[in-house]
A and B are shown apart, each in its own frame.
Chain A
Amino acid sequence: MSGIPVELGLLLSLVLFVLGLIGVLVRRNLIMILMSLEVMLNATGLAFIVAGSRWGQADGQIMFLLILTLAAAEVGVGLGLALQIFHRFQTLDADSVNEMRG
């Protein structure tokens, strides 16, 4: 059970999280942004799993299930919004949908 050291697991989770974050900040396509968000969520999920296995507790896996459902709901809403935006603006570019500015 203790084949992989916890530091490596957390490092992988950190790398995934930063990759997802970079994707969110750099990508302009809404679909790509949603996908990057998924990567970030899974990175946090991985961190929970690693921590749970480190201390031998089930809480980490329970939290992962919670994050999984959350991610599913988020993708549902996010794709719905993306669809509406495409209907209205004929584009999925996040920067050109900036009408709500002060």
Chain B
Amino acid sequence: MLGLLGWVPLIPLMGFLILVMAGDQLSRLIISWVGAGSVAVSALLATLIGFEFLDGDMQPYRHIVGSWMTIDDLSVPFGFYLDALSMTMLFVVTGVGFLIHVYSAGFMEDDPGYARFFAYMNLFVSAMLVLVLADNLVLLYLGWEGVGLGSYLLIGFWYDEPNNGYAARKAFVMTRIGDTAMALGLFLLFTQLHTLDIQSLLSLASSQWAPGAVLPVASAALLLGGAVGKSAQLPLQTWLPDAMAGPTPVSALIHAATMVTAGVYLIARTHPLFLLAPTVQLAVAVIGALTLLVAGCSALVQTDIKRILAYSTISQIGYMFLALGVGAWSAAIFHLLTHAFFKALLFLAAGSVISCFHHEHNIFKMGGLRKAMPLTFWSFMIGSAALAALPLTSGYYSKHEILLAAFDASPVLWAVGLLGALITGIYSFRLIFVVFFGAQSQTVEKKPGWLMSVPLLLLAGLALFGGMLQIPLNSVFPVLIDQGNDHTFNLVSVITVASPIIGLLIAVLFYLTGTFSAQRLSDGGLAGTLRQFFLSGWGMDALYETLLVRPFITLSTMNKNDVVDGLYVGVAWLVRGLHRMASATQTGRVRWYGASMVFGAVFIIAIGLLS
């Protein structure tokens, strides 16, 4: 079974090719079977491989699929690497990916671009699988750029709307900034260590480089740049809220469950490098802590249902970065796993709400949906409970682990994470209370069909019980040094559990019972300004607009006619002038030619005589 590893990314790629070549001729039923079926087959393969892998004592397995080229004794192999980490990612990508594909078959049923949608989705899944399975940083980079392309195509899926195209370009360019840093990191690693094979690279780095030296710090920082761009962390986070322009299943798959967590995967995959660079690792923790606060505050005041979820995704990935930064590698991957479940659930449930409201995104125009859409309501409840890390849900286990690890590293980071958890509690239940409670504002016309309900049910189950699905990652990561702090019943643990519940109570007071009014609060001068500030994502979009976008547009307007091109235009102009002069002598008058010949002959004879 392990030998079939190469087929896991290949089958979605084949699905992509079929849909691209023949998508116009196929009926909608066949398109959905090809689109979701290819991911289903690769999920099935991944499950079989997973069982064999877990039986085989989880020995890392390397599968050489082929080679890029073989010349004499130079061979560039093309291989996949399976260990507990990539296995976890494999489950997330194929499993959650499959459920979202099934959901999409229902969600997109009236869309004219049905085949195009599934083609892009399959391309994305294939690239993501290459990313997580790659045994080589260059192959990983191929998958990395592939998911970037998939993300770009799917954000701009409804391309008739110019804003969607703008959002797609913004996402592409912003992540490209990080990718450039990452490419530089790969170049640095290759020139220094002469290999990009991940396992040998990491062991070489550990044996050759001293902790804290310049080289490991520089290369880890450059890789971190790539991770920050892809995972929408500070300061490159502004693309993710705009990426919500894509269809909702896309937001669930790419901008919540899989692609945006690729940065977390990259850092976890190359964690020995980060262990050699303690300053960079600290930077990872600080970036994560700042991001989770910044994004959490922005999520508090958004009115667009998808933007709330987008900011909460940024904030949750901040938690993962925090965990990576304090060395709780397996907690970070565990949170990645549970986050994929509950955030995909939340997005899909939001998609049901949106599709029943004629693509209305404003939560204050909804209300009282609890009775009308019970399944969606309960999905949202479970998802939000897991997001806020209420006890016994999956998110509780992972976030609790992260916060305790953060406390061991630094109480300040723990306090920031705790504040973030409080804010998470407020905004996730604000969303529920506004959308599902209160007076029913509009009648629901369309109920989600079974294609949309079944994935919701399964994901709700995973979001509830996914906390028990721990794949033992100790074979990959160094075990945290136990400092003898048993947090089971002490004060830190109790506070950590209590903070999201306090957040929930605040949300109840503000949005359910109406004891306090958020409206009245934000009417005040300072609070109103603050609300506007949070709503605009801490003004970072405006900052980038004035600092980078405007000057660039000004420069390119000035250079509209291409200064460098002027040289070549000049050459062409000169040649054309000479040509015109030469052709002017050809008058067609025979006598004129004769006279020219005479004068020429006289001239030449004169030169011959006089010299």
Most buried by B among A24, A26, A28: A24
Quick one: which of B585, B591, B594 contacts A102, CB cutoff 8 A? B585
Interface residues of B in 563-593 (CB under 8 A from A): 582-591
Query: Whole-angstrom distance between the alpha carbons of A41 and B587 in the complex?
Result: 26
- Flag whether A94 is at the interface (Cβ < 8 A): yes
Nearest CB in chain A: distance from B559 CB, A: 38
Minimum C-beta distance from B582 to chain A (A): 8
A25, A98, A99: the one contacting B598 at CB < 8 Å is A25
Proximity string of chain B (264-288) to chain A, C-beta cutoff 8 Å, 1 when within and 0 when not:
0000000000000000000000000
Kindly state the separation between the CA atoms of A41 and B557 in the bound complex, as whole angstroms: 70
Q: How far is the CA of A75 from the CA of B530 in the complex (A)?
A: 103
Question: Which chain A positions have C-beta within 8 A of B583?
Answer: 102
Residue of A nearest to B583 (CB): A102
Interface residues of A in 53-95 (CB under 8 A from B): 94-95
Measured in the bound complex, the distance between the Cα atoms of B585 and A99 in whole Å is 14
Given A25-B598, A102-B583, CB of A94 within 8 Å of CB of B588:
no
- Choose from B585, B589, B594, B595 the contact partner of A98 (Cβ within 8 Å): B589
| Residue from B582, B587, B588, B594 in contact with A25 in the complex, judged by beta carbons closer than 8 Å | B594
Q: Chain A 14-37 against B: per-residue CB contact (8 Å), 1 yes, 0 no?
A: 000000010011101000010000
Interface size class of A (residues with CB under 8 A): 10 to 19
Once A101-B586, A102-B586 are accepted as A-B contacts, the answer to whether A21 and B591 lie under 8 Å apart by CB is no
In the complex formed, the residue of A with least CB distance to B590 is A94
In whole Å, how far is B183's beta carbon from the nearest beta carbon of chain A? 55
Q: Quick one: which of A94, A100, A101 contacts B591, CB cutoff 8 A?
A: A94
Determine whether the beta carbon of A101 is less than 8 Å from that of B588: yes
Contact between chains at A95 and B586 (CB < 8 Å): no
* Contact of A95 with B584 at beta-carbon distance under 8 Å, contacts A21-B598, A25-B598 already known: no
- Residue pair A94, B595 in contact (C-beta under 8 Å): no
Q: Are B588 and A100 in contact (CB under 8 A)?
A: yes
- Tell me the complex Cα distance, A88–B490, Å: 115
Contact with A along B231-260 (1 / 0, CB 8 A): 000000000000000000000000000000
Give Cα A95–Cα B590 distance, bound, in whole angstroms.
7
CA distance A26 to B598 in the complex (A): 13
**Which residue numbers of A lie inside 8 Å of B, CB to CB?**
21, 24-26, 28, 33, 94-95, 97-102
A33-B590, A101-B589 are known; give 11 further A-B pairs, CB within 8 A: A21-B598, A25-B595, A26-B591, A28-B591, A94-B591, A95-B589, A97-B588, A98-B590, A101-B586, A101-B588, A102-B582
Could you tell me which B residues sit within 8 Å of A by CB distance? 582-591, 594-595, 598
Q: Enumerate 29 A-B pairs (CB-CB under 8 Å) in ascending A order.
A: A21-B598, A24-B591, A24-B594, A25-B591, A25-B594, A25-B598, A26-B591, A33-B590, A33-B591, A94-B589, A94-B590, A94-B591, A95-B589, A95-B591, A97-B588, A97-B590, A98-B588, A98-B590, A99-B588, A100-B586, A100-B588, A101-B586, A101-B587, A101-B588, A102-B582, A102-B584, A102-B585, A102-B586, A102-B587
What 3 A-B pairs have minimum CB-CB distances, sorted nearest first?
A102-B583, A98-B588, A101-B588
